[in-house]
Structure 1
């Protein structure tokens, strides 16, 4: 099934005082390209995030934004005893120097906040990753759902254009079949007119006419074009990434259309080839957005 390369998904998950919000945006790109924005405290997890994203996306430019909050964590408070002693000694010096009778109280000392060192007790990296992974899964599930919906719309539009292409090929084939006999007759008459006073080997003449007519035949191109249409439709039903293969098939369809156009002399066939190339180009533009 066709899947678009364009989409957006958001995932949120909280556990054990950790909260993650993940936004994922994907747009067209020839290859896979991931841009990951993580808080500095979580940079160690970037490789894990990239590996997870690679398992979800086959092609496209993907921007991943991760927001991280922690609250109510356990903390470890330590006292800088050397700094505290220095403050007390300084305060005593001030008392003695200026004859201040006020006592050095605990309340006064706590105003010097730098004597306290507060450390948050962080979870292990693997534990944080397990929480983040849930948010990532939710975000990519939402992204892929949107890509599938858009892909379904592309699939329906492309199939309508393939139907038009089939009808155009039918018209070209019908016209070519009717023209074959006329072409041989006109070619023979023209040769006879130009060589009316020259004795010709009739068998050799007919052989040469047949060779020229065969070179101008578009039967093979029509057969290959129909084969490409069938292969295109089969590929659309595949569950894997199909964008690159579809792009190749469209190139081959366009090649056959160009060959038919170069061989055609009938104005109706030429007009049909123009319409054919127009529909093929429309499909080519659509599949640029297919993963």
Structure 2
């Protein structure tokens, strides 16, 4: 089954102290193009992370984001700096008396002055507290979710591409059905030309027959039809292989295109040419979708 090269997967871990989030995104690329955004505390694990991603996702333009945020409930216990509060209150009270101003709510004003309310630094949770033992299983979960997304997208792409292959088969069957008529039309044209030139004194019957045999062989498309059938069958088999087959299918589609082009160039018939054009259109649809295949 085909796998889409585009994908998305995420995973999250919540503790009393922090929330750890991992997100994977991927777009089309001929190779693995990995961009990381991770906390500084995991910088020593960057190479290992890259190896895990490259092995699991194979190729694509991949963006990995690992974020750690401190939970509000883990910000530490707040306390009042009594000394600083007292100093603010006394200064504000003295200023009010000197100016003869009323001084209601001095305590509330002093309480909201800078640094009066403090958080115990010893209880402050830092992102460095996140360990690789917590990150690694979450990363594998995000990869699993990412691959599930790829499989689901791949199923839709498989159905679409197989429908194009089936359409080429139908068109090829039309070519095969019409081929005897094509050959007969060519034979009649040759016979007509033969009657015109046979009266010439320089006419050489043996040479003419040899040239006609060569000409008819050049117009024969039987081998191309057989090879095209085989390529279409091989393409379908490859679609359902368990491993990533995007590049292999691209090579097979090139061979399919080669046989279609040869049939078109040798047919020497407008009806077959029209069928060939339709086959080319279906093949272009296949090639376009293969850009999205892993």
Structure 2 length-normalised TM? 0.76
Q: Which runs of 5+ in 2 are unaligned?
A: 75-114
Q: Residues of 2 paired with 1:16 and 1:130: CA distance?
A: 17
Query: Do structure 1's residue 41 and structure 2's residue 44 form an aligned pair?
Result: no
| Contact 1:23–1:66 under 8 Å retained in 2 | yes
- The equivalent residue for 1:276 is 279
Deviation at 1:68, TM superposition (A): 2.3
Query: Do structure 1's residue 135 and structure 2's residue 138 form an aligned pair?
Result: yes
- The equivalent residue for 1:105 is none
Give the 3-state SS of the residue equivalent to 1:36 in structure 2: strand
Q: CA RMSD in A?
A: 2.8
Q: Residues of 2 paired with 1:49 and 1:167: CA distance?
A: 48
Q: Which runs of 5+ in 1 are unaligned?
A: 74-110
Give the 3-state SS of the residue equivalent to 1:187 in structure 2: helix
Match runs of 1:248-259 below 5 Å: 248-259=251-262
Query: Do structure 1's residue 176 and structure 2's residue 179 form an aligned pair?
Result: yes
| Contact 1:188–1:209 under 8 Å retained in 2 | no
- The equivalent residue for 1:242 is 245
Give the 3-state SS of the residue equivalent to 1:64 in structure 2: strand
- The equivalent residue for 2:97 is none
For 1:18-50, what per-residue CA distance to the aligned partner results, in whole angstroms no more than 9, with x for missing partners?
642100001111111111111122111111111
Match runs of 1:279-290 below 5 Å: 279-290=282-293
- The equivalent residue for 1:196 is 199
Q: Residues of 1 paired with 2:51 and 2:133: CA distance?
A: 14
Give the 3-state SS of the residue equivalent to 1:35 in structure 2: strand
Query: Do structure 1's residue 266 and structure 2's residue 258 form an aligned pair?
Result: no
Q: Residues of 2 paired with 1:198 and 1:176: CA distance?
A: 35
| Contact 2:39–2:67 under 8 Å retained in 1 | yes
Deviation at 1:138, TM superposition (A): 1.2
| Contact 2:70–2:125 under 8 Å retained in 1 | no
Distance 1:135 1:287, change over 3 A: same
Q: Residues of 2 paired with 1:41 and 1:69: CA distance?
A: 13
Q: Residues of 1 paired with 2:168 and 2:237: CA distance?
A: 16
Q: Residues of 2 paired with 1:123 and 1:278: CA distance?
A: 55
For 1:203-235, what per-residue CA distance to the aligned partner results, in whole angstroms no more than 9, with x for missing partners?
543332111110121112211111110111011
- The equivalent residue for 2:6 is 6
Q: Residues of 2 paired with 1:288 and 1:19: CA distance?
A: 37
Q: Residues of 1 paired with 2:131 and 2:191: CA distance?
A: 84
| Contact 2:70–2:126 under 8 Å retained in 1 | no
Give the 3-state SS of the residue equivalent to 2:144 in structure 1: helix
Q: Residues of 2 paired with 1:175 and 1:123: CA distance?
A: 72
Give the 3-state SS of the residue equivalent to 1:241 in structure 2: coil
| Contact 2:17–2:125 under 8 Å retained in 1 | no
Q: Residues of 2 paired with 1:24 and 1:117: CA distance?
A: 34
Deviation at 1:7, TM superposition (A): 1.3
Match runs of 1:91-102 below 5 Å: none
| Contact 2:29–2:60 under 8 Å retained in 1 | yes
Distance 1:202 1:30, change over 3 A: same
Give the 3-state SS of the residue equivalent to 1:272 in structure 2: helix
| Contact 1:31–1:59 under 8 Å retained in 2 | yes
Q: What is the count of residue pairs matched by the alignment? A: 250
